[in-house]
Structure 1
Amino acid sequence: MPFAQEQSKSSTVASEQLSKTETIKLRNKHIGQACQLFYRSDPLKIVRGQGQYMFDEEGTRYLDCINNVAHVGHCHPEVVRAGALQMATISTNNRFLHDELVQCAQTLTSKMPEPLSVCFFVNSGSEANDLALRLARNFTKRQDVITLDHAYHGHLQAVMEVSPYKFNQPGGEKKPDYVHVAPCPDTYGGQFTDKMYPNADLGALYAQPIEEICQRQLAKGQGVAAFIAESLQSCGGQILPPPGYFRAVYDAVRSSGGLCIADEVQVGFGRVGTHYWAFETQGVVPDIVCVAKPMGNGHPVGAVVTTPEIAQAFHATGVAYFNTYGGNPVSCAIANAVMRVIDQEGLQQNALQLGDYLLRECSHLKQEFECIGDVRGVGLFVGIELVKDREGRIPDTKSARWVVNRMKQLHQVLVSSDGPNDNVIKLKPPMCFSRENADEFLLAFRECLATLTQDKMATEAATAAATTTHGVIATAAETLANKTKLFERQDRLIKSV
């Protein structure tokens, strides 16, 4: 989807004031070292964005295949205009009436299945998931939460506690006893795979550990407060749950008195192509849905959508919920513009068509290159898992990182890697991605795989040659040693006569 015009490069938009070296020095001095950069050995300084492209301080254009935040494209004119106009009019908190807030809630809930009809507005996905847990614990009067291995739900304390992606790291905090971790439903490299169980119902197999947790909690007279899961696990390696998984899990959780929370922060708003929300691909209706990132196209805005019953129970506590910036007119105007653009430009349909094309072409690459172990995805949410050995499904972390860096340095295409072994190449581009962009990625990716394969073959040949040479040398040395021993024995015999 072309933009009306390229945004101005004049100083009225943004002026480049510091050299890249100066920027790095100031960042190292004033920004916490825990705040990590992409491409740490050679970080990018991005000064401008337009659509599916980003530009560095030298004007180099990069194809953005990873920025699922700029959902409808960097600096989309309609989104920019909506935010600027509202900012020039009024921005205040949601204790005053304003139309942008109620219209945003109306549009958002119109895209949800019944009975999800009540909104709470927040600033981020972390805040959304934090509030969702608070709503669930208030409604159920329970504390325990079930989460999935490798899941990430945000950086606030309450959501860090349900994010194994973070707390399982060497310096992570200990998991609380009231948090229960179930296996990630990864059918390629997880606990139950299509290789180990070729004819099994993998959805039922992966649901069983959650059913067992619920049964144990009921046996203790406690039950659970909530089950929280990303509808498609992103940081866990672009994971698509097997068919029937969420339906079985939701049944088990609800039978133990718990609520089901769908984290749509990374995968909502039409990204999957077939549906507006990723949870819909499993035919389930959550009790609480959390949305953020793509909702603001780069502006900090998010929301929790739930049922009237759960919202009323929260109100009945007598403790008012107030968020200074959550639901402010500027944020809501931007979110309204984003949802309009998705509909007007047919971006959900674009995700469906391009996603099918990318998956098909990546599957062809899998047939050509042994280093690709698996290709999976839906819509513009694609994962390509690199392996050392396809039969053993041994992760190839080193190659994945090499590909990510080569794509950036040689081809100016930005991708990332993730997953438990950091060996899954992730594609989550802006929804304005085009067929030409897909071909640009595929051509660059093919070159990387070909070079990687050639390098491995050359290394193996060199190793084989070295082994052969070493064998010849070893044989010669052994022969010389034997002759020396023979001469020594002969010498001793001569001296003994």
Structure 2
Amino acid sequence: MSKVRQILDMNAFDATQGGTGAVARRLANLGAASVLFYREPIEMVSAKGAWMVARDGTRYLDFYNNVPSVGHSHPAVVEAVSRQIAVLNTNTRYIVEVVDAYLEALKDKLPAALSNVVMTCSGSEANDLALRVARAASGAQGIIVTETAYHGNTALVTEASPSALRRGTLPPHVVTVPAPSRAAFGEDIAGGFRAAVEAAMAELQGRGLGTAAFLADSIFSSDGIFADPAGFLRPAVEAVQAAGGLYIADEVQPGFGRTGDAFWGFARHGIAPDIVTMGKPMGNGFPMAGMAARPDHLAAFCEDVGYFNTFGGNPVAAAAGLAVLQVIAEEGLQENARTVGAHLRAGLEAVAADAPQVAAVRGAGLFTGVDLCSPDTPDIPDAAVTVRIIDAMRDAGVLIGAAGRYGATLKVRPPLCLNRDEADRFINAFANATRTTL
């Protein structure tokens, strides 16, 4: 039987083996908290567009890192950040025009009901705040997440991130449901997933906790990327809302045009979320994140606690975020994600037809999952095969990572500026890797 994998163990350097040079220096500085990619970590020195450059001069096509969503070192973001930090950077206790300009531009992309935005520095903080708001607004305590979800690293959010746990069990207030896959629910993914969420709500009610929130990343990235059929998520969300719980749409991964069909992942499903959380892609690498909520929900929380974040919503972050929104619009990156993503999946599906260790290809826009298995046994996820393919692609100058319950799904999420030639380079590298790793 395949072994369940912890998220930080996937595609990771084994720090217990020690290291030399720059690796030893990092381990000495961070100790057990050090997380490096690959069995032979890479020292990077620069990046631009979809490419990164290592200390030894090797150029790598980056299909792993969704943080620089509009492209590494995008000149518009660099200029906006440089200009603002040379003028003023302070906190939100002062009125600074660029901050409200950004908030209004962001709100133009969100459902009108979510008219209050709280800025933070990380998606973890945004999800932590969202769960606290959901509890205050609902009067309940229970949280529903998927079996291999990852939503961040604060104490509260780690409890709701099953894939982050190396030992122990989830607390009583967290109940999981299977990822929305055909393996779990057959052809009726919408109905099966709704039934699973309703059963989770009944479990929380039986524990005397009720359901405060269903927290889900609408591309289910840590579970292995499940995007289709569009709309399958809506019945489960409506069931939670009908019972008085809130749906928190974690858009840290699928948001900002990545799924191609819509600016937000939840929009592909026709959902009206109660709270939206955002992070990684917002500043193209500048640390910023946020939570959008209804005014009454936020007010219910602030009556008891209130919230202030020293660096959240600072003018430099706002300048970076505004530049990202402008670049997505001016360069047509959402449409690029749709068309180049479709081209990429078509190429990967063609490779899969002749590769016995490829079980499935699925996704939306420039977010694709490729399930890997023992050759000719698609029902058996194979993390060892996945590691071999990841290493072979690194040798070919392509960076890629793993996801899924068993660490056997390639998580394909390149910058939104990816072009067809770069997509073809990935397809060719993947085809070669499947041949050489049999």
Bin the TM-score by the shorter chain: over 0.9
TM norm structure 1: 0.82
The answer to whether the 8 Å contact 1:145/1:227 transfers is yes
Aligned equivalents of 1:220, 1:401: Cα separation in 2: 41
Q: Does 1:332 pair with 2:318?
A: yes
Q: Show the counterpart of 1:88.
A: 86
The answer to whether the 8 Å contact 2:26/2:34 transfers is no
Equivalent position amino acid for 1:178 in 2: H
Q: Does 1:186 pair with 2:181?
A: yes
- Give the match's secondary structure for 2:316: helix
The answer to whether the 8 Å contact 1:185/1:241 transfers is no
Aligned equivalents of 2:207, 2:410: Cα separation in 1: 43
Show the 5 A alignment for 1:293-304: 293-304=280-291
Q: RMSD of aligned C-alpha atoms?
A: 1.6
Decide which of 113, 116, 121 is 2:114's aligned counterpart. 116
Equivalent position amino acid for 1:181 in 2: T
Give the C-alpha shift of residue 320 in structure 1.
Answer: 3.0
- Deviations 1:63-83 (Å, cap 9, x if unpaired)? 111110011111111101111
Decide which of 405, 411, 415 is 1:430's aligned counterpart. 415
Q: Show the counterpart of 2:16.
A: none
Aligned equivalents of 2:209, 2:401: Cα separation in 1: 41
Equivalent position amino acid for 1:146 in 2: I
Q: Show the counterpart of 2:404.
A: 419
Aligned equivalents of 2:107, 2:115: Cα separation in 1: 5
The answer to whether the 8 Å contact 1:223/1:257 transfers is no
Decide which of 275, 284, 288 is 2:271's aligned counterpart. 284
Show the 5 A alignment for 1:150-299: 150-167=148-165, 169=166, 171=167, 173-187=168-182, 190-193=183-186, 200-218=187-205, 222-240=209-227, 242-299=229-286
Q: After alignment, is 414-423 or 122-131 more displaced?
A: 414-423
Q: Does 1:310 pair with 2:297?
A: yes
Aligned equivalents of 2:435, 2:21: Cα separation in 1: 38
Q: Show the counterpart of 2:384.
A: 398
Equivalent position amino acid for 1:431 in 2: L
Aligned equivalents of 1:390, 1:211: Cα separation in 2: 36
Equivalent position amino acid for 1:192 in 2: F
- Deviations 1:410-466 (Å, cap 9, x if unpaired)? x1111112211111112100111111101111111111112224xxxxxxxxxxxxx
Q: Show the counterpart of 1:32.
A: 31
Equivalent position amino acid for 2:339 in 1: Q
Structure 2 vs 1, CA of residues 205 and 389 (structure 1 numbering), >3 Å: closer, same or farther? Answer: farther
- Give the match's secondary structure for 1:349: helix
Q: Which has the larger radius of gyration?
A: 1
Equivalent position amino acid for 2:138 in 1: T
Show the 5 A alignment for 1:315-394: 315-317=302-304, 319-390=305-376, 392-394=378-380
Gaps of 5+ in 1: 1-19, 194-199, 454-497
Aligned equivalents of 1:392, 1:54: Cα separation in 2: 33
Equivalent position amino acid for 1:260 in 2: Y
Give the C-alpha shift of residue 223 in structure 1.
Answer: 2.6
- Give the match's secondary structure for 1:334: helix
The answer to whether the 8 Å contact 2:52/2:61 transfers is yes
Amino-acid identity (%)? 39
Q: Show the counterpart of 2:75.
A: 77
Aligned equivalents of 1:367, 1:25: Cα separation in 2: 43
Give the C-alpha shift of residue 35 in structure 1.
Answer: 2.0
- Deviations 1:242-277 (Å, cap 9, x if unpaired)? 454321111221122111000000111000011000
Number of residue equivalences: 420
Equivalent position amino acid for 2:399 in 1: L
Q: Show the counterpart of 1:457.
A: none
Aligned equivalents of 2:344, 2:424: Cα separation in 1: 9
- Deviations 1:393-426 (Å, cap 9, x if unpaired)? 11122111101001112x1111112211111112
Give the C-alpha shift of residue 390 in structure 1.
Answer: 4.3
Higher RCO, 1 vs 2 (CA within 8 Å, ≥6 residues apart): 2
The answer to whether the 8 Å contact 2:173/2:204 transfers is no
Aligned equivalents of 2:266, 2:317: Cα separation in 1: 25
Equivalent position amino acid for 2:329 in 1: D
- Give the match's secondary structure for 1:245: coil
Structure 2 vs 1, CA of residues 288 and 256 (structure 1 numbering), >3 Å: closer, same or farther? Answer: same
- Give the match's secondary structure for 1:32: helix
Q: After alignment, is 347-356 or 441-450 more displaced?
A: 441-450
Aligned equivalents of 1:105, 1:68: Cα separation in 2: 22
Give the C-alpha shift of residue 241 in structure 1.
Answer: 5.4
Give the C-alpha shift of residue 207 in structure 1.
Answer: 1.5
- Give the match's secondary structure for 2:111: coil
The answer to whether the 8 Å contact 2:357/2:378 transfers is no
TM norm structure 2: 0.92
- Give the match's secondary structure for 2:359: strand
The answer to whether the 8 Å contact 2:121/2:312 transfers is yes
- Deviations 1:178-206 (Å, cap 9, x if unpaired)? 1111111122xx4224xxxxxx4221012
The answer to whether the 8 Å contact 1:218/1:256 transfers is no
- Deviations 1:280-337 (Å, cap 9, x if unpaired)? 11110100000010001111100101112212223333x3311000000011110111
Aligned equivalents of 1:325, 1:101: Cα separation in 2: 12
